[in-house]
Amino acid sequence: MAPVTINLVSAQSGTGKTTLLEKLIPELAERGLKVAALKGEIHHYDLDLPGKDTWRFARAGATVAGMTTPEKYILIGSAPEQGGMAAAQQLLQDLDLILVEGHKKSSNPKIEVVRGAVNPKPLLPEHVIAVVTDVPDLSVEVPVFHLQDIKGLAAFIHERFFSPGGDQSGELTHFDRTGRPRMVDVSGKAETLREAYARGEIVMQPETLARVKEGKMAKGDVLGVAQVAAIMAVKETGRLIPMAHPLQISGVEVDFNLVESPESKIEIGVRVKVAGRTGVEMEALTGVSVAALTIYDMCKAIDKSMVIQNIRLIEKKGGRSGHYRREP
């Protein structure tokens, strides 16, 4: 199997990519990975100086020239047709992981480094899978790791690309290698505090919203019943969603916001917490969905035109994939 290649990139130089790589390599090596580190996007190097032995070997036609000591080696080659990076990757086939510093235009998975003093806003080029930063509360749609959380970043890389249930090359983890559905094995993960917040809305006629607000629906307290329904749905998610894990939920909070204009609707929010080995995104989304369905059921006698819409994950915390928050 070809090694995984990941590029560490940033909007500009001076963000500490080299230092980050220097700290990350031993953490990955401790997990049993054979790691190569390469410098990308450079136009020349000082190892192959004109007149020196390796330069003379290359001029004589050697495909690869190099130097060795009893413990180390260095190889220099020329690959004008395929490019130096492609040639290096081909020579490193027996390794597990190649970390490349730089090369933002690469099609490889990328980890972006964002430093508040240098580039406080992420560039987010294509194929970014995570951001490493010292900027507090940075909001992006990929996992975020603090600059000092080297162990967390190493765990993220290892789990995503090298664990049996990991996301190698973007594979969907709820399918095995034969394409059959499966429940992901999370027994090897640590129990951590995890949290998810989801929102959605149900649009209705102004008269319907007014009756809900005044508590005049024939079936009773609409929002009170919907709140209980959301909590029950959260606890039943493992039974409703085929590949979701049954969880011992730590807490559920449900909020409603009645909006009269410009659109008459009820906004629903559900926050779920758990101490476990897997996240609670599905629980939060299920809670919102069932709360909206309950409101529909209790109001449908007078308003069958209601629309349930815009159910989405707002925020996720905890776990190796880090902190996610949807952009406004």
Q: Give the residue numbers marked as catalytic.
A: 297
Token pair for 155: 């765990």
d(CA 167, CA 175): 11
Residue 113, strand partner residues: 132
Tell me the CA distances in angstroms from 85 to 125, 209, 228, 292, one per residue in order: 19, 62, 58, 53
**Helices (H), strands (E): how many in the chain?**
7, 13
Residue type, 47: L
Q: How far apart are CA 161 and CA 5, in angstroms?
A: 10
Tokens of 311: 């159910």
The count of other CB atoms within 10 Å of the CB of residue 69 is 7
Hey, is 24 helix, strand or coil?
Answer: helix
The DSSP line for 72-106 is -EEEEE--TTT-HHHHHHHHTTT-SEEEEE--TT-
User: Six-digit token pair at 292?
Assistant: 């909206």
Please check whether residue 220 is in contact with residue 298, taking contact to mean a CB–CB distance below 8 angstroms.
Answer: yes
